[in-house]
Structure 1
């Protein structure tokens, strides 16, 4: 993946590398580098590739895409052109919406094995009113509105100069999600897994149920202890599940080192 500007990898795996890959899609305003810390959990099993679209990370000079469908088209094209081994898509929050839309576009690829949607209500229910309202706000009002979702350090919440420096990407992503237009389509043929925190304040049972209409088979559902960012400091809540989904993964099976409730 070193030849693709769209995905960041940590570069520790030697050629030809592991037999599988996990494409990771960040939450709104998220840093693709945050996924690279998961690589050690999946050493020898899969390569972690964090999505870095135009306008983000080392591509900050490129014009950012502002439409979910347009971004999904571009990511799907890049994966179709570069996928060289079995792979899984993992997306969290906004990243799960984007991963879902990409999955719709690449369902024909034989190496596409699984979609994992984390911290996200069913796409047919999005955008939520809270997201739409937050996307209209500026300055301190925006910061306070998105604080509901978690993930903003206290020092950022308290310092307006830090907010101006760090939150433009978050604001842009909220506006992108607010403009998301779900369209009914054929259900996904690949298996789908949903992961959500037990204390996530904005993911309800009613919000998850319509995911079943997006899949040929009912999605497997996991509940992990914690809130919206249940995996902060506990990467294996996700990587143990990913390991169990990867082809011929050593030690594949039910995750066991962290409490995960299978629904």
Structure 2
């Protein structure tokens, strides 16, 4: 049986009451890349990269469906957040962040964490409303193989030119990206009660995959209207510009929650 710790790689303050930010990567993305944001968050939050089965140090495990990924991540987070007595320390807030495919997984994980009293915010980035997923473009792309897949992936600002020009590297990287797109294509949206937790939706102004109507439909998933932030850049705005487009939002939430707790 997989131990909860197998799901996570962490960086940042180890203080017991520091907020946790659980991060979910895009299709083909390395969850560990989020740990580079530590310098932006300082000691105000602990970054926790969520590592799914079938990837990285868990490569030998079967790849899950998106729903199985969310189920496993939620169970691991619940186990990680309990103290020795089985309670959830109310002075240690929890935040979820996911980009693109990771945003969809983070959303489904949040649905499964409704009973976690310390879950404060869900941040989703570069992803349209769940009810619209998977798009026809994602389904079509998931049916492709090899270089055809790699070339069509450019719509999502996928592989850099140096990877496209390197056949051996392309052969190494493509299977993981294709598997993640097939996970996304197999997603089945199911209506459920709106989320009670605060939701923040972030999109790049130059992201060809998004437009305002797709983003506005996030309102249907939230008890209170989500905050919508358009930032400079494309699908990977935080990679092209600066992670501060995300980390500043995270820090604002952490500091606001801390202020409320002090009051």
> Is the TM value for this pair above 0.5?
yes
Shift of 1:250: 8.0
The 5 A counterparts of 1:90-169 are 90-169=97-176
Aligned equivalent of 2:71, options 73, 77, 102: 73
Q: Contact conserved, 1:151 with 1:229, CA < 8 A, in 2?
A: no
8 Å CA contact retained: 1:21, 1:87? yes
Give the Å deviation of 1:162: 1.4
Task: Name 1:204's counterpart in structure 2.
Answer: 211
8 Å contact from structure 2 (residues 193, 221) kept in 1: yes
**Which region of structure 1 is more displaced relative to structure 2, 88-97 or 159-168?**
159-168
The aligned length equals: 248
Q: What is the DSSP-based 3-state SS (H/G/I as helix, E as strand, rest coil) of the residue aligned with 2:97?
A: strand
Aligned to 2:81: 83
Partner Cα separation in structure 2 for residue 222 and residue 27 of structure 1: 19
Are 2:53 and 1:50 equivalent residues in the alignment? no
Judged with a 3 Å threshold, the aligned counterparts in structure 2 of structure 1 residues 43 and 136 are, in CA distance, closer, same or farther, namely same
Higher helix share: 2
1:160 Cα deviation after fit: 2.5
Q: Quick one: distance in 2 between partners of 1:18 and 1:225?
A: 34
Partner in structure 1 of residue 9 of structure 2: 8
Match of 2:85 in 1: none
The runs of 5 or more residues in structure 2 that have no matched partner are 83-91
| TM-score scaled by length of structure 1 | 0.90
* Alignment of structure 1 residues 182-201 onto 2, 5 Å: 182-201=189-208
Q: Structure 1 unaligned runs (5+)?
A: 253-263
Pair 1:39-2:46 in alignment: no
- When normalised by structure 2's length, the TM-score is 0.90
* Structure-2 separation of matches of 1:18 and 1:48: 13
- Cα distance in structure 2, aligned partners of 1:157 and 1:18: 44
